[in-house]
Amino acid sequence: MKQDNRLDQPYVSIAPDGSLDHAPIEPGCFLGEDEVQPPLSLNEAMAKLKNWFRANSLNVLAYGTACGAIEMRPLGTSRFDMERLGITGAPTSRQANVLVISGYLSIKTLKRVIRAYEQMPSPKWTVGLGSCTIDGGMYWDSYNTIKQVDQYLPIDTYIAGCMPRPEALIAGFQALMDKIKAGEANGWNEYLENLEAYKAQQRKVINDWAMPAYNW
Amino acid sequence: MRALETIVKELETRFGVISHREQRRDLGEVNIASQHVVAALEWLKRHGGYKHLTHLSVVDWLEDGEFQLTYLLTDPYAHHSLMLCTRIERENARAETIFTLWPEAVTYEQEINEMYGIDFPGSPRQGVEFLLEGWNDMPPMRRDFDTVKYCEDTYDFRPGREHVDPKEVRAKFQAEQKRLKAENTESPQ
Amino acid sequence: MEAQLPFYEQALWTALWVFAALIYGLCLNGVIRKIIGRIQGRIGPPFWQPIIDLGKLMFLRTSTMHGIMFYLAPVFRAVGGVGLLVFLPIVIGVPALENFSHSGDLLMIMYFFFFGQLGMAMGAGEGGHPYSPIGISRGLSQMTAFEFPFVLAMIAIAAQTGSFSIAAIVEAQQGGVLNWYIFQNPLAAIAALIALAGMNMVSPFDVVGAPQEIPVGPRTEYNAGFLSLMLSGVSVFNVAKLILFASLFLGGITTIIGFVAKTFIIYFWTIFIGAVFPRFRIEQSIRFFIKWPALAGIAGIALIMA
pLDDT tens readout for residues C100-125: 777 778 888 888 887 877 877 777 77
Let me know if C110 is exposed, middle or buried by CB neighbors in 10 A (0-12, 13-18, 19+). Answer: middle
Tell me: domain A66-216, CATH 3.50.50.60, correct? no
Listed residue (C293, C302, C4) closest to C151, CA to CA: C293
Listed residue (B21, B20, B14) closest to B39, CA to CA: B14
Question: Is pLDDT above 70 for B120?
Answer: yes
Question: Is pLDDT above 60 for A10?
Answer: no
Q: How many CB atoms lie within 10 A of CB B176?
A: 10
Beta carbons of C63 and A92 less than 8 Å apart: no
pLDDT at C247: 87
Residues (pLDDT < 70) of chain C are 1-4, 63, 209-220
What percent of chain A clears pLDDT 70, i.e. is strictly above it?
Answer: 82
More confident: C100 or B21:
B21
Question: Is pLDDT above 90 for A174?
Answer: yes
How many residues can be counted in chain B? 189
Helix (H) or strand (E) holding B169: helix B166-186
Interface test with A, best of C38, C51, C59, C214 (most A CBs within 10 A): C59
Residue type, A74: P
pLDDT tens readout for residues B75-104: 999 999 999 999 999 999 999 999 999 999
Beta carbons of C60 and A122 less than 8 Å apart: yes
Listed residue (C210, C135, C188) closest to C301, CA to CA: C188
**Which residues, 6 or more positions from C304, have their beta carbon under 8 angstroms from its beta carbon?**
C156, C159, C160, C185
Residue of A nearest to C42 (CA): A78
Let me know if B91 is exposed, middle or buried by CB neighbors in 10 A (0-12, 13-18, 19+). Answer: exposed
More confident: A142 or A214:
A142
pLDDT at A18: 62
Average pLDDT, chain A: 83
Question: For residues B28 and B7, is the Cβ–Cβ distance under 8 A?
Answer: yes
C43 and A CB contact within 8 Å: yes
Q: How far is B127 from chain A (nearest CA, A)?
A: 15
Please tell me the distance from the alpha carbon of residue C117 to that of residue C119, in angstroms, as a whole number: 5
pLDDT tens readout for residues B161-189: 887 888 999 999 999 999 999 998 876 65
Question: Is pLDDT above 80 for B50?
Answer: yes
Strand-pair partners of B71? B56, B84
What percent of chain B clears pLDDT 70, i.e. is strictly above it?
Answer: 98
Please tell me the distance from the alpha carbon of residue C60 to that of residue C297, in angstroms, as a whole number: 45
Please tell me the distance from the alpha carbon of residue A76 to that of residue A56, in angstroms, as a whole number: 16
Q: How many CB atoms lie within 10 A of CB C144?
A: 13
Question: For residues A205 and A84, is the Cβ–Cβ distance under 8 A?
Answer: no
Question: Is pLDDT above 80 for B137?
Answer: yes
Question: Is pLDDT above 90 for A136?
Answer: no
Domains of chain B, earliest start first: 4-162 (3.30.460.80)
Please state, in angstroms and as integers, the Cα–Cα distance from residue C233 to each residue in A110, C33, C62, C181, C242, following that order.
38, 19, 18, 29, 14
A105 and B CB contact within 8 Å: no
pLDDT at A6: 46
Residue A63: phi and psi, rounded to 5, are: -135, 105
- Which of A15-19, A51-55, B129-133, C208-212 has maximum average pLDDT? A51-55
pLDDT at A17: 66
Domain positions in chain A: 66-216
Question: For residues B133 and A107, is the Cβ–Cβ distance under 8 A?
Answer: yes
C75 torsion bin: left (phi>0), alpha (psi -120 to 50), beta (else)? alpha
Strand-pair partners of C69? none
What residues of A are in contact with residue B131 (Cβ under 8 Å)?
106, 108, 144
A160 and B CB contact within 8 Å: no
Average pLDDT, chain B: 91
The band of A1, judged by pLDDT with boundaries at 50, 70 and 90, is very low
How large is the average pLDDT for residues A117-143? 90
Provide the ipTM. 0.80
Q: Which of A78, A86, A123 is the closest to C40 by Cβ? A: A78
pLDDT at A3: 47
What residues of A are in contact with residue C38 (Cβ under 8 Å)?
none
Sequence-ordered alpha helix ranges (H) in chain C: 7-39, 49-58, 68-86, 105-124, 131-161, 166-172, 181-184, 186-199, 224-249, 256-276, 282-290, 292-305
Residue B66: phi and psi, rounded to 5, are: -135, 155
Question: For residues A183 and A30, is the Cβ–Cβ distance under 8 A?
Answer: yes
pLDDT at B15: 93
Interface test with B, best of A115, A143, A207, A209 (most B CBs within 10 A): A143
The band of A15, judged by pLDDT with boundaries at 50, 70 and 90, is low
Beta carbons of C63 and A120 less than 8 Å apart: yes
Say how many CB pairs under 8 Å bridge A and B: 58
Listed residue (B134, B121, B56) closest to B93, CA to CA: B121
Please tell me the distance from the alpha carbon of residue C48 to that of residue A86, in angstroms, as a whole number: 10
pLDDT at A112: 92
pLDDT tens readout for residues C260-271: 999 999 998 888
pLDDT at C135: 79
Domain positions in chain C: 7-305
The band of A19, judged by pLDDT with boundaries at 50, 70 and 90, is low
Please tell me the distance from the alpha carbon of residue A59 to that of residue A91, in angstroms, as a whole number: 9
pLDDT at B67: 95
Beta carbons of A144 and B132 less than 8 Å apart: yes
Please state, in angstroms and as integers, the Cα–Cα distance from residue C120 to each residue in B154, B167, C124, C227, following that order.
49, 64, 6, 12
pLDDT tens readout for residues A59-117: 999 898 989 899 999 998 889 989 999 999 888 888 899 999 998 999 999 999 999 99
A141 and B CB contact within 8 Å: yes
CA angle A129, A135, A139 (to 5 degrees): 85
Beta carbons of A108 and B131 less than 8 Å apart: yes
Question: Is pLDDT above 50 for A23?
Answer: no
Listed residue (C118, C113, C124) closest to C209, CA to CA: C124
Beta carbons of A57 and C49 less than 8 Å apart: yes
Question: Is pLDDT above 70 for A152?
Answer: yes
Beta carbons of A107 and B157 less than 8 Å apart: no
B95 torsion bin: left (phi>0), alpha (psi -120 to 50), beta (else)? beta
